[in-house]
Amino acid sequence: MSGNIKLLSDTLAAAKAEGRSALIAYLPAGFPTVDGGIEAAKAVFDGGADVVEIGLPHSDPVLDGPVIQTADDIALRGGVKIADVMRTVREAHEATGKPVLVMTYWNPIDRYGIERFTAELAEAGGAGCILPDLPVQESATWREHADKHGLATVFVVAPSSKDARLTEITAAGSGFVYAASLMGVTGTRASVGEQAQDLVRRTKATTGLPVCVGLGVSNAEQAAEVAQFADGVIVGSAFVKLMLTADGDMTAGLGGIRALAGELAEGVRKRA
């Protein structure tokens, strides 16, 4: 069975055709429970997200700040497994028909087996993987299997990336490019800053792939700001924080993230 890279590309292209950025939401699998995580993914889609990234919880999430680390810890203590991640992808996609990716560090895939992981993700209807710590020069085997199964390989670029390095990274990637808006870890910020705009400009000079910005976006105003120059706006910690604040009240948590997704969806549609 082939994965849904085409659905991802078509979704991003459709947003561009509407003259707006796509809204991409991030939520970890297994948080607050496996079933709760599935309902959360459906809720942000219901609110207006175009794409959802499902995080594979990791004990040492080097790109993630304290909010997502807390959620990962809850998921891991709850016994979340890769099978639960695949189930989350499958049920979120089947319920909505929209593209769902997995965001994961490399070690879990390496231990699970590349062929097994890519085959199962494609079978679950996944659109691809975001791999923040897989060096491009060591990614050939992964990309071979991902291509075979119709999955996007999304690499992360940062403001520190030199132009030659951007060219190398974007040439190897597919689906879209994840542009980290600043140096540091995930989390909400008061301002996304000019670094993101410069990084998007430099990245677009190397590729025709959509460039989507993450790290720091937490409200409609910031989403509107980033939407002026990016093909997609990625929001994670703000959603996770609402689920944490709900403290087990799923009705409140799901209502909160659905409403935030709606506000962000309006934000990405605002033009300067």
In sequence order, the β-bridge partners of residue 152 are 128
Reading the block at residue 140, the tokens are 């050939």
> Bridge partners of 101?
53, 128
Q: CB of 267 within 8 A of CB of 49?
A: no
Q: Is 10 a catalytic residue?
A: no
* End-to-end alpha carbon distance in the chain: 42
Question: Would you say 52 and 100 are in contact if contact means Cβ atoms under 8 Å apart?
Answer: yes
- Residue 122 phi, psi (nearest 5): -65, -45
Of 39, 50, 64, 84, catalytic:
64
Catalytic residue check, 225: no
In 3D space, the residue among 3, 1, 29 whose CA is nearest the CA of residue 152 turns out to be: 3
The candidate with the shortest Cα–Cα distance to 58, out of 75, 41, 39, is: 75
Centroid of chain to Cα 43? 16
Angle at 217 between CA 211 and CA 223, to 5 degrees: 70
> From CA 56, how far away is CA 105, in angstroms rounded?
8
Identify the active-site residue in 39, 50, 53, 84: 53
Residue 177 in 3-state DSSP?
strand
User: Which residues are marked as active site?
Assistant: 53, 64
